[in-house]
Structure 1
Amino acid sequence: MSILVTGARGFVGKNLTAELNNKGYADILYVDRLTDKSLLDKYTKECDFVFHLAGVNRPKDEKEFMEDNFGFTSELLNLLKKHNNKAPVLITSSIQAERDNAYGKSKKAGEDLLFNYREETGVQVYVYRLPNLFGKWSKPNYNTVVATYCHNIARDLEIKVNDPDAELNLCYIDDVLNEFLRALEGNPTIQDVYCVVPETHKIKLGELANIIKGFKDSRLNLSVPNMDNEFTKKVYSTYLSYLPEDKFSYDLNMNIDNRGSFTEFIRTPDRGQVSVNVSKPGITKGNHWHHTKNEKFLVVSGEGLIRFRKIDSDEIIEYRVSGDKLQVVDIPTGYTHSIVNVGENDLVTVMWVNECFDPERPDTYFLEV
């Protein structure tokens, strides 16, 4: 199948062409403002499906709205008619088409062209009135406030929240791609005469700003965003795509002494915390027990011996662990326990505990195994 994509270098087009390639569609015809007219003529003769994504939303002169959003659409459809090409056409319009402004009028004019084209030719058309989109590769200060906030917050730049209670209707780029692929297969989601992306998210502007600020703060407080919330998960993925290229990494606070080190990695209010423990050869750590706090140990490098003793018993239980065979060892409550480096190299253990450390209620009691 030969697929023509206008606006192929833009936000939606770049994501769409990448996903089409992922799905095995190898014959993609890329079109943008710089495409030669003769090449566009050739493409409109050859294509089997058209994704018409090209358009402007922030021109220097308002007359460019109609020239691009209406004029180029007209040119594209005329070329398809010239070649008697019955390829289905999908066009991205906007919810702004309902409004009485220059941009909205130009998008509505483009919609009308598509519907008239369908009446005249019998060709299948899909008109999507999209809300505000967000996701990777969106331009800050151009496409969406999500991109602007992510870009600025990641760089310690100021953001403007003019009306914290203003409600946004947002749609994630991957959800758009999934819907477009359904349309490509002839199975779009239709409401009345328009096609829609079923998955959208409503949020207030102030809440959005706070969520994204929380992503930046998570590097300091070691928190993890709530990935059970679909919107938070999507915005966090978007935020990461705006990290400056020299800021992908960040330091952790390593507690180092002559025994090795202990470094907290992740802290969550509902899933506990994860730390990395390094022990030098011959070093024993632990020798304590808990009432309620419980842990999991995973040795990823070196050789260790994890020892247990129920606090009212003399019997010692031992588990030999090694980075050569990854095994998780649960640390039950009521057992004093220790971990000994019995190898010749550093012993590296990933430790999970069910609750974040609280110095007011440590629930940790010294007792040698």
Structure 2
Amino acid sequence: MKVAVTGAMGFLGWHVCCRLRAVHGVEPLRIGRAELADQMLLHDALSRADIVLHLAGVNRADSDAEVEDGNVEIADRLAAAVCRLRHRMTIVNANSIQSGTDTAYGRGKRKAAAVLATVCKASRVRFVDVRLPNLFGEHGLPHYNSFVATFAAEVAADRRPSVTNDREIPLLHVQDAAAALIRAGEQTELGELRPRGEPVLVSWVADTLARLHDRYRTGEMAELSSRLTVNLFNTYRAFRFPDMFPVAPDLHADERGVLTEIVRAHGGTSQSFVSTTRAGQTRGDHYHLHKVERFFVLKGSARINLRRLLHDEVVSFHLSGDTPAYVDMPTLWVHNIENVGDDELVTVFWSDQLLDPTNPDQYPERVMQR
């Protein structure tokens, strides 16, 4: 399966590319603004693809006309390339439930879908229109991608977001949206798909993020008993990393030795385990899509390295058992822990879910790219 993704550098595009790599073992052809602006580059990328996930679009601009026309213009460019190719492929269009509204964004998405549907029918190209509800997730931009990103950023900065128009909104985590788009490219049915979001009040989202923050700011884990809550927590945690870490909890010492708390979790499932690591050895080199995980160094000298998936920059933390401390692993960040000392390294690991060998939510990849 060869997949091309337009808008691959955006919020939804990044999550789709991560999922293609993690779950399907596919390295997608990433089409950004440069390729969309150059018909030769776009033609070359599309000619190598069996499936095109069209995610590029304009969400915000200086005027309504730029939003509406911008979405249509991108669709026109893709349609022109499809016409010239005469290549058997599937086009999956990331549409929005707002395409049924009379807003600039809604009109633009509706017209863009019509452009692609018409050219695909004429070119005998499979076309699937996926109408997505309101998306949220890790590394969304505040005041741009989602009100959830705006709320999460406010809460992470220790401010309480205000709710001026409380109403019920269907929310879908961006990884679930990515899964729906990829499935649409693999299936044989044509037409329109409508992945369902979970309807929640805007005020409930604000209250839940505030509750998660009130616990997490002290190092505690709030109850993570539902998938939606975990996804909101991981969205919020993306705004706390890396500045929050490492965290050194209080030590309680007497003549017997030292006692420190590793994690305090309020409800839900969780699992803890301890490891020893010899000098010069490394553990990890993988990432998770949903799992919440904590590395707590009790003894020895460690370096924890993390790299956001599909990015190059590596963030590193040095921890020592002389001052026991922990770092929480953000989702969609490749991570490992190295013993950089001469003595044995002792680390306690905690995760919010019990290990499921058939679905461990663990995908191998090296932090350090060579």
TM-score by structure 1 length?
0.67
Q: Secondary structure at the match of 2:34?
A: coil
Matched with 1:204 is 201
Pick one of 220, 228, 233 that aligns with 1:231. Answer: 228
Does the C-alpha gap of structure 1 residues 146 and 273 become closer, same or farther in structure 2, counting only changes over 3 Å?
closer
1:99-136, CA deviations, whole angstroms, 9 ceiling, x for partnerless residues? Answer: 11111111110121233234323321111111111111
Matched with 2:179 is 178
1:204-250, CA deviations, whole angstroms, 9 ceiling, x for partnerless residues? Answer: 11111111112221135654233321110111122112214221333
Matched with 1:307 is none
Pick one of 236, 256, 260 that aligns with 2:257. Answer: 260
Q: Secondary structure at the match of 1:63?
A: helix
Looking at structure 2, the residues matched to 130 and 147 of structure 1 have their Cα atoms a distance apart, in angstroms, of 17
Does the C-alpha gap of structure 1 residues 148 and 349 become closer, same or farther in structure 2, counting only changes over 3 Å?
closer
Q: Aligned AA for 2:138?
A: K
Does the C-alpha gap of structure 1 residues 267 and 187 become closer, same or farther in structure 2, counting only changes over 3 Å?
farther
Matched with 2:53 is 51
Looking at structure 2, the residues matched to 9 and 130 of structure 1 have their Cα atoms a distance apart, in angstroms, of 19
Pick one of 211, 214, 224 that aligns with 1:214. Answer: 211
1:61-88, CA deviations, whole angstroms, 9 ceiling, x for partnerless residues? Answer: 2222233211111221121111212211
Aligned residues: 279
Shift of 1:183: 1.8
Assess if the C-alpha contact under 8 Å between 1:8 and 1:30 holds in 2.
yes
Q: What does 1:72-221 correspond to in 2, within 5 Å? A: 72-157=74-159, 159-163=161-165, 165-186=166-187, 193-198=191-196, 200-219=197-216
Matched with 1:320 is none
Q: Secondary structure at the match of 2:172?
A: strand
**117-126 or 100-109: which moved more?**
117-126
Assess if the C-alpha contact under 8 Å between 2:130 and 2:194 holds in 1.
yes
Q: Aligned AA for 1:32?
A: G
Q: Secondary structure at the match of 1:34?
A: helix
Looking at structure 2, the residues matched to 272 and 230 of structure 1 have their Cα atoms a distance apart, in angstroms, of 12
Greater CA radius of gyration, 1 or 2?
1
Does the C-alpha gap of structure 1 residues 68 and 224 become closer, same or farther in structure 2, counting only changes over 3 Å?
same
Unmatched 5+ residue regions in structure 2? 273-297, 300-345, 349-370
Does the C-alpha gap of structure 1 residues 43 and 273 become closer, same or farther in structure 2, counting only changes over 3 Å?
closer
Looking at structure 2, the residues matched to 220 and 167 of structure 1 have their Cα atoms a distance apart, in angstroms, of 28
Q: Aligned AA for 1:256?
A: A
Looking at structure 2, the residues matched to 46 and 63 of structure 1 have their Cα atoms a distance apart, in angstroms, of 34
Assess if the C-alpha contact under 8 Å between 1:155 and 1:244 holds in 2.
no
Looking at structure 2, the residues matched to 118 and 272 of structure 1 have their Cα atoms a distance apart, in angstroms, of 48
User: Quick one: percent identity of the two aligned structures?
Assistant: 28
Matched with 2:18 is 18
Unmatched 5+ residue regions in structure 1? 276-299, 302-347, 351-369
Looking at structure 2, the residues matched to 250 and 68 of structure 1 have their Cα atoms a distance apart, in angstroms, of 45
Assess if the C-alpha contact under 8 Å between 1:44 and 1:76 holds in 2.
no
1:282-316, CA deviations, whole angstroms, 9 ceiling, x for partnerless residues? Answer: xxxxxxxxxxxxxxxxxx99xxxxxxxxxxxxxxx
Does the C-alpha gap of structure 1 residues 220 and 11 become closer, same or farther in structure 2, counting only changes over 3 Å?
closer
Q: What does 1:239-254 correspond to in 2, within 5 Å? A: 239-254=236-251
Q: Secondary structure at the match of 1:93?
A: strand
Matched with 2:322 is none
Does the C-alpha gap of structure 1 residues 34 and 273 become closer, same or farther in structure 2, counting only changes over 3 Å?
closer
Matched with 2:5 is 5
Q: Secondary structure at the match of 2:33?
A: coil
Assess if the C-alpha contact under 8 Å between 2:221 and 2:266 holds in 1.
no
Does the C-alpha gap of structure 1 residues 153 and 185 become closer, same or farther in structure 2, counting only changes over 3 Å?
same
Higher relative contact order (CA 8 A, sep 6+): 2
TM-score by structure 2 length?
0.67
Q: Aligned AA for 2:193?
A: C
Q: Aligned AA for 1:11?
A: F
Shift of 1:187: 5.6
Q: Aligned AA for 2:213?
A: K
Does the C-alpha gap of structure 1 residues 138 and 272 become closer, same or farther in structure 2, counting only changes over 3 Å?
closer
Shift of 1:201: 1.5
